[in-house]
Chains A and B, each alone.
Chain A
Amino acid sequence: MSQQPLSSAIQPTDVYGGDEVSAIVLDPGYSYTRAGFAGEEMPKQVIPSFYGHVNGSDLFGDNVMTMEPRAGFEVRNYMNRDGVVEDWDAATKSWEYVLLKRLQPPRPTPINKNGLNVNDDGDVAMDEGANGESVDEFEKPLFDTPLLMTEAPWNSTKAREKSIEIAMENWGTPGFWLGRNPVLSSFAAGKATALVVDVGGALTSVTAVHDGMVLKRSIQKSPAGGAWLSSQIRSMWENSDPKVKVVPRFMVENKKPVEAGAPAEARLKTFDFPITDSYRAYEEERVVKEFKESVVEVWRGPGRFCVPGSEEYVRNQPGRVFEMPDGYNQMWREQRYRVSEGMWDSEAAYAPLSNDEARLTKAQTIPSIIKASLDGVDVDLRPALLGNVVVTGSTSLLNGFNDRLNVELAALFPGVKIRIHAAGLTSERRFGAWIGGSILASLGTFHQMWISKKEYEENGAGIVEKRCK
């Protein structure tokens, strides 16, 4: 029997209590900003939160970020390392870029402004005079789509109020909601109660979520995220026997293949204008990221990597070769475990290169922050939380991360059953919070939660504190 295609007469949304109102979900993070329509399974648009700044104007989107260097091209980020918006002007522009330029088709210019009716001066003037107000209302870009935004659970009241202001005043959304990242991540994993371990680009945070609410006393964060791992890799390269120099891809004109460990033979480009530091750092970061994704692994245990024996064991295992953009290549064996070991064992970490890069303290390792987080939660909840550990964030995609986490948790809480829930799909791990937001905003029961325009006008921006708890 061949399966019949779904008839258009059936309403598929009735199955799961969904009621789609074409809401937009916007999930700004330190590395990427994601946006898409609620009810879809992936964000339609993902752009870096980094943006280019050249000659006093800002350029957004991934396409400008990968272009050839230009004179005076600076790379900036509107978010800070805490996952909180720092530069509101840039943030607004960046969000507008992704929501209006990338996500929605360009709107036709209203008839009275498109210049075709110029001849009929009198009529146009009368129209504007008659219902200028309502025309304005419908000119706001998001006048018919509710907007759900995500935020870090430690976001400040001021920042929250600012975001509802932008959504309501600038874009004119009929409904708005601020969802907290861990809550949405746990929704994406299909759980209302969970311990969310979010290993992101800038931060690792652990938050307990109970019945769809963040438990504030359980919020723990630590810099042990992607950026910290990058700095560990840089330290390792600096300390390895032939120093590994990082030459970003844009500087290489051509290269010749060389033996492993031999110095690179490449001709570098020269530019007749200075390359800004921020651009170079961003490009170098891309090389480091590639290394992270293809070489670095987490020691799976049992026990720590630094116990005698395990390092020797790894040295005899096959390693991985990594070739730098300039052709230098080397086999990496035990070092690729060592760089990530600092996440679990603060003593194993490399010393940071510069002083502004923080060393992880013992309390900032992942097992410690999980323990600290659980200590802030009522005893009765702890077993339920440990049975629903949700791992999300793209740095958690490191090979062996979940195995190690399981080992560490089992050692910390010997009497409790521990179950780790980590999405298998790479994209689900990267966009956990967005997917949760997409699920939430397409639920029929959620529509009573939106902060409507009327409520905003009556209560002011403070309503976001009252409603989005």
Chain B
Amino acid sequence: MTSRDVHDVLNIPSDHSGVGRPSKKQKSSAIRPNLKGLAREVQNLSGDNPIAIVPEVSFFKKRRLASRKPATKWELKPFTNSARGDDGALVLRHWRRKTEDGPPADVDSQPGENEAEGSSVTKVEKPEDSAFAKFNVHVQIPQYTDDQYHSNLQSSTWTKEETDYLLELAKDYDLRWAIIWDRYDFQPKGASGDFTDGSNALVPAGEPRTMEDLKARYYEISAKMMAVQTPVQYMNRSEFELFEMVQKFDPEQEKRRKQFALNTMARNKDEAREEESLLLEVKRIVARTERFNEERRELYNRLDYPATETDINSFKSSAGLQNLLQTLMTSDKAKKQRKQAMGPGDVASPSSAVPTSAVSETHANRRESIAASAVSNHHRADSDARTPATPAEPTPTSATAPAANKKKGAPQPERRKLTQQEEQIYGVSYHDRLGSGPTFRYEKINKLYSHKSGQQQLRITNVLSELGIPPRLVMPTAQVTAQFELLWTAVTSLVDLRKVNDRLDGEIKIEEAKKAERDKVRGVVVSPATPATNGTGDKEEGGAETNGEGGKDQQKTDQDKKRPGSSGGSSHKRSASVLSSVSDKSAKRQKK
């Protein structure tokens, strides 16, 4: 519905409607053919309505001074720097914003008035201090008086003048050791004093100090002066830490570290890469062993099931078994939450304790049979006796065993504490860890041998046979093996000592022979017998000494053993001396 329709309806003759409409149409149709190419496409897109192209509002640069205030005034202001040592003699000038004569912080004062004032007022007050003066910091250098030096700081390698010089440099260069060492050039004063003509050719040039020398001396002084100023017990924490650190300086270690750094710098890329890969390898190996150990520990925890003294009668009925299953499941759940193996101190809840221990009885039996425990034997006999009577019994145990295995470490059940006496009677012993499977005690002894070289094994067996002890124990009870181990270690140490002694003897002889040669060369008239006899005397002395030691050792082991039937101390002494003299002979032979 357009206005024309309204006009039609209302019969209002529109004055220019007849002209206007066609002309409009013509206009639009007239424009169209003129357009070509892209322009036509664009027009087609929009239809008859022209596309509005709104020009972007362009901003021009703002006026430089938004405020109409006149430009700020600056002035060339004099200033001094209080960090200088010359009491403000140097007055420099820099440009600063002009302020009123009041506080310099007041920057936003009216510049117009200022100008008039600033030009008329002449500066009479002291120029301001530089803002940078506060950055001037100094290091703390230990101070000492002459008396303090003489009482505390004397050194055989350092004169007081040189120490003073060192501290002076340390202060000048703010403890930058690289520079101190670089500039260190101490000329002893006495030299320049004595030779006034300036020639100090006669003065021996002192050995150049290394940086470690300088540091060591400085730290020594600072540690001592710290201790003098505040005795060690009165130092506060930070002071004491500093004191300790200063005291600990080790020039030798520092030298080694620098040597190491030098080597590291010299190594080329391939070497560095190789080292890196080796390090990686080591890390991997360590990680692997750790994981392995972890797994093994877990395994042990699983295997480690305690014994029990309660009987299993309560589980012999089906109702009892049901009950057992229930408690097992609950304890399993609880276990999962706790995960970690419980220590012996942890007490399991009494409700679960009884059945668990009952179930694991078979495992316990196995383990304790290894330990040849009388108690468990008794129990096993018990259970064995009962097994045929109740054929249902093995099934639940075998069924529950894997379930129990799943748990990570069972809690130690309550166990009757055995007294010392009982332990001895029953032969109960506690071990850190036992190897899997049965072992023989004499294997342990064999293991000891296997670490030694063949020759040493021979020597040890020789000694043992001299003592009348068979290399393989006839009755290896626990006590006997323990004592045998003690004896064995004593014998090995004896053999080792003897070896060292032999070697030293040999060296002494060689040195003496050398000395004799030298004497001969020098032409000093020495009877050839004298040095030789001296040597033998020495040697015998040494031999006797070892004998004594060996004998003592032997006696000690004897006392330790307190074993009836072992041969007397004197015979040991004899045997040891025989052995050592034999070895002396062998040494002689070697020398020849």
Q: Is A210 in contact with B176, judged by CB distance below 8 angstroms? A: yes
Task: Say yes or no: A213 contacts B179, CB within 8 Å.
Answer: yes
A8/B89 in contact, CB under 8 A: no
For A416, what are the chain B residues with a Cβ–Cβ distance below 8 Å?
265
Which residues of chain B are near A175, meaning CB under 8 Å? 90, 92
Let me know if A215 and B94 touch, CB within 8 A. no
- Residue of chain A at shortest CB distance from B111: A9
Cβ contacts under 8 Å, A469 to chain B: 172-173, 183
Decide yes or no: A448 and B83 within 8 Å by CB, A146-B92, A455-B89 being known contacts.
Answer: yes
Instruction: Say yes or no: B59 contacts A447, CB within 8 Å.
Output: no
Q: Smallest CB-CB separation from B74: which chain A residue?
A: A8
CB neighbors of B among A259-273 (8 A): none
Q: A316 within 8 Å of B by Cβ?
A: no
Docked Cα-Cα span, A450 to B90, in Å, equals 8
With A19-B132, A448-B136, A453-B89: A383-B172 Cβ-Cβ less than 8 Å: no
**Cβ-defined contact, B84 with A448, below 8 A:** yes
Chain A residues lying within 8 Å of B183, measured Cβ to Cβ, are 216, 469
Return the chain A residue nearest B69 by Cβ.
A9
B71 partner residues in chain A, CB cutoff 8 A: 8
* A447, B130: Cβ atoms closer than 8 Å: yes
Task: State whether the Cβ of B16 lies closer than 8 Å to any Cβ in chain A.
Answer: no
User: B258: which A residues are within 8 A, CB to CB?
Assistant: 378-380
Could you tell me if B90 and A380 are in contact, using CB atoms closer than 8 angstroms?
Answer: no
Task: Find chain A residues with CB under 8 A from B386 CB.
Answer: none
The closest CB in chain A to the CB of B107 belongs to: A9
Once the chains bind, are A19 and B94 in contact (CB under 8 Å)?
A: yes
In angstroms, Cα B136 to Cα A210, docked, is 19
What residues of A have a CB within 8 angstroms of the CB of B89 in the complex? 452-455
Interface size band for A = 35 or more
Known: A217-B182, A379-B258, A415-B266. A447 touches B97 (CB 8 A): no
B59–chain A nearest beta-carbon distance, Å: 7
Q: Is A139 an interface residue (CB 8 A)?
A: no
Cβ of A327 to closest chain B Cβ, rounded Å: 52
Are A453 and B90 in contact, with the CB atoms below 8 A?
yes
A293 surroundings in chain B (CB, below 8 A): none
CB distance from B392 to the nearest CB of A (A): 76
Contacts of B269 in A (CB 8 A): 414-415
Distance in angstroms between the alpha carbons of A143 and B191 in the assembled complex: 44
B178–A455 touching, CB < 8 Å = no
Q: Are B181 and A415 in contact, with the CB atoms below 8 A?
A: no
A413 to B71, CA, bound (A): 59
Decide yes or no: A448 and B81 within 8 Å by CB, A174-B92, A379-B261 being known contacts: yes
**Contact between B86 and A9 (Cβ–Cβ < 8 Å)?**
no
A240 close to B (CB within 8 Å):
no
Cβ–Cβ contact A447 & B92, under 8 A: yes
Quote the shortest CB–CB distance from A447 to chain B (angstroms).
Answer: 5
Interface contact B265-A444, CB-CB below 8 Å: no
B97 touches A11 (CB 8 A): yes
List A residues 210-224 near B (Cβ within 8 Å).
Answer: 210-211, 213, 215-218
Chain A positions 380-399 with a Cβ under 8 Å from a chain B Cβ? 380-383
Q: Which of B89, B91, B133, B172 has the most CB of A within 10 A?
A: B89
From residue 90 to 120 of chain A, which have CB atoms closer than 8 A to chain B? none
Within 8 A of B (CB), among A228-245: none
A2 touches B61 (CB 8 A): yes
B262 within 8 A of A: yes
Supposing A17-B132, A19-B132, A415-B272 touch, asked if A174 and B59 sit within 8 A by C-beta, the answer is: no
Number of B positions contacting A (CB below 8 A): 49
CB of B429 closer than 8 Å to a CB of A: no
With a CB–CB cut-off of 8 A, which chain B residues contact A453? 89-90
- In the assembled complex, which residues on chain A have CB atoms less than 8 Å from the CB atom of B86? 452, 454-455
Is A377 part of the contact surface with B, judged by Cβ < 8 Å?
yes
**Distance in angstroms between the alpha carbons of A416 and B178 in the assembled complex:** 19
A56 on interface, CB distance cutoff 8 Å:
no
Contact residue among A8, A11, A452 (Cβ-Cβ distance under 8 Å from B84) = A452
Residues of B67-99 whose CB lies within 8 A of A: 71-72, 74, 81, 83-86, 89-97
When C-beta atoms are compared, the residue in chain A nearest to B87 turns out to be A454
A447 with B182: in contact, given A2-B59, A380-B258 (CB under 8 Å)? no
**Inside 8 A of A144's CB, which chain B residues have their CB?**
93
B28 at the interface (CB under 8 A from A): no
Q: Which of the residues B130, B136, B261 comes within 8 Å of A380, measured between beta carbons? A: B261
The residue of chain B having its C-beta at the shortest distance from the C-beta of A457 within the complex is B89
Measured between beta carbons, the chain B residues less than 8 angstroms from A447 are 81, 84, 90, 92, 130, 132
Q: Do B90 and A174 touch across chains, with their CB atoms under 8 A apart?
A: yes
Alpha-carbon gap, A215 to B183, bound state (A)? 8
Chain A nearest Cβ from B97, distance in angstroms: 7
Interface residues of A in 59-102 (CB under 8 A from B): none
Distance of B93 from chain A, by nearest CB (Å): 6
B563 within 8 A of A: no
Q: Judge if A21 is at the interface, Cβ distance under 8 Å.
A: yes
Docked-complex contact A444 and B64, CB < 8 angstroms: no
Q: Does A424 contact B (CB under 8 A)?
A: no
Tell me the bound Cα distance from A452 to B80 in angstroms: 11
A210 to B179, CA, bound (A): 7
| In the assembled complex, B159 has its CB within 8 A of some CB on chain A | no
| B567 beta carbon closer than 8 Å to chain A | no
B279 to A: closest C-beta gap in Å: 15
Residue B143 interfacial (CB < 8 Å):
no
Q: Is the beta-carbon distance between A382 and B265 smaller than 8 angstroms? A: yes
10 smallest beta-carbon distances between A and B, as pairs: A452-B90, A454-B89, A414-B268, A444-B132, A448-B83, A21-B92, A215-B182, A379-B258, A445-B132, A448-B81
List 17 extra interface pairs beyond A17-B132, A175-B90, CB under 8 A.
Answer: A2-B61, A19-B131, A21-B92, A213-B173, A378-B178, A378-B258, A380-B178, A380-B258, A380-B261, A414-B266, A414-B268, A415-B268, A445-B135, A447-B92, A447-B130, A454-B90, A455-B89
**Interface pairs (7), CB distance under 8 Å:** A19-B94, A19-B131, A144-B93, A215-B178, A215-B182, A378-B177, A450-B92
Question: Hey, which bits of chain B sit against chain A, CB under 8 A?
Answer: 59, 61-62, 64, 71-72, 74, 81, 83-86, 89-97, 107, 130-133, 135-136, 172-173, 176-179, 181-183, 211, 258, 261-262, 264-269, 271-272
